[in-house]
Amino acid sequence: MGRNKKLFSVGIAGTVIAALCCFTPVLVILFGVVGLSALVGYLDYVLLPALAFFLGLTIYAVYRRKKMAC
């Protein structure tokens, strides 16, 4: 059961981190302050696949948890 809890936690944490794609304007401001605004064009190529992966991982963990409860 500890492994399932860890998988679920990693999925949730990853989903939250990957959800930063919704906060791209904040990232643009932060990158502008640091001088990395040239990398803003590549955010979608990184964050959207990461969001999809971690969302899938979360769904898998929830499905597995429900399956083990039965």
* CB-CB contact of 11 with 60 (8 Å): yes
The least confident of 1-5, 9-13, 57-61 is: 1-5
pLDDT tens figures, 6-58: 888 888 888 777 776 667 777 777 767 777 666 667 767 777 888 889 889 88
Residue 16's SS3 state is helix
Most confident of 1-5, 19-23, 65-69: 65-69
Q: How far apart are CA 56 and CA 42, in angstroms?
A: 22
23's enclosing H/E stretch is none
